[in-house]
Amino acid sequence: MEGIIGLEDGTILKGKGFGLEGWVAAEMCFNTSMTGYEEILTDPSYKGQVVALTCPEIGNTGINPEDEESDKPQVSGLVVRRLSRRASNWRQRETLDVYLRRHKIPAVQGIDTRALTRKLRIQGAMKGVLATNGMSGEEAVRRAREWPGLGAEDYVAQVTCKKPHEWDPEGMDFPGKLGSERIPMPKVRHRVAAIDCGMKRNILRLLRQEGIQPVVFPATAKAEEILQANVDGVFLSNGPGDPSVPTYVHETVRNLVGKKPIFGICLGHQMLAHALGGKTFKLKFGHRGGNQPVKDLRSGKVSITSQNHGYAVDPQSLPKGKVEVTHVNLNDGTCEGIQLKGGGAFSVQYHPEAAPGPHDAAYFFRQFSDLLDAGRS
């Protein structure tokens, strides 16, 4: 079947469709990672977005449930240069095409994804329509222009869990780096409230690997409910959409600051900034990939990081003398980390759990564990 992409600037791109026969309007973005397409597809932070992958061949390792970062694909659509129809990996359970059809996600192959990426880098993120149902290019452009954009919906409410729950039962294990090995869970030393704004599974795994038992709360949970759960700290997860929209999360975090140690990742970083009086702004085309250099301003150390966000914290909006910027992106100088002066709360814009990698920043989970130890003592 024919596949069409129509962008709000009038651009029309043609290829071949796969996955669902249908259409979707969403924000067009790109990811420069060379591996980990399954983790990208299932990252809830991509809700409301069509992702173009710059790696030229996608699908060659198939789909394996253990690599999913949530219980289904979260992207609105997928754009690739070339689809591997035959996957070749001993862990695969189905092909990418079958997987997307099963979950009703439309996709297009045969697109020059690097040219599309260049357009988005130069002109900025755009509204677009991906269609595999015979829609004309002109109709796709018209519908793209009519779509209201990411800021018009609360995507956090669409991906958060329904009710509080302990993440794993006693004795559960999880896959190791090679997939075939199993790593047993260590003894629980702390219980932490994990506010689920669209949390990736590997965050839960790495918290648990540090002896931290996540008690997952919906993003709508109130501070009083969390404090009554007798937890040692609070974790703020990644998630989708405009960080200024879920103001109920800002209020909850604001009422938790100073009462429990707090650690935030990605959207959680932005939620902490809003709770402390800061603001966020939309980036021209976002940071999405596994090659973003970030500098720790305290030590001078540079880490290569995995990132997926279209908004950033405005450092000038943070309260002077109360919050300090700890990390910056070396590509564009944007804020990548903050901490409450005197300790007690910190966050990073990038992904220390890095699924897909790299793993330079995984030490933050140990840092959070140390903060919980200090809080207890």
Dist CA 33 CA 288 (whole Å): 8
Residues pairing with 105 in the sheet = none
> 180: which residues sit within 8 A by CB, 6+ positions away?
none
Q: What is the DSSP letter of 38?
A: H
Buried/exposed code over 235-257 (b: 16+ C-beta within 10 A; e: otherwise) = bbbbbbbbbebbeebbebbbebb
Dist CA 222 CA 171 (whole Å): 30
**What one-character-per-residue DSSP string does 6-29 give?**
EETTS-EEEEEEEESSSEEEEEEE
Tell which residue, 292, 277, 342, 287, has the closest CA to residue 312.
287
Q: What is the DSSP letter of 67?
A: G
Catalytic residue set? 266, 351, 353
Buried/exposed code over 135-155 (b: 16+ C-beta within 10 A; e: otherwise) = bebeebbebbbebeebeebbb
Cβ neighbours, 10 Å, residue 220: 17
> 118: which residues sit within 8 A by CB, 6+ positions away?
none
Dist CA 312 CA 267 (whole Å): 9
* Contact yes or no for 322/341 (Cβ under 8 A): yes
Dist CA 122 CA 113 (whole Å): 14
> 142: which residues sit within 8 A by CB, 6+ positions away?
6
* Residue 44 exposure: Cα atoms within 13 Å on the Cβ side: 25
* Residue type at 125 in one-letter notation: A
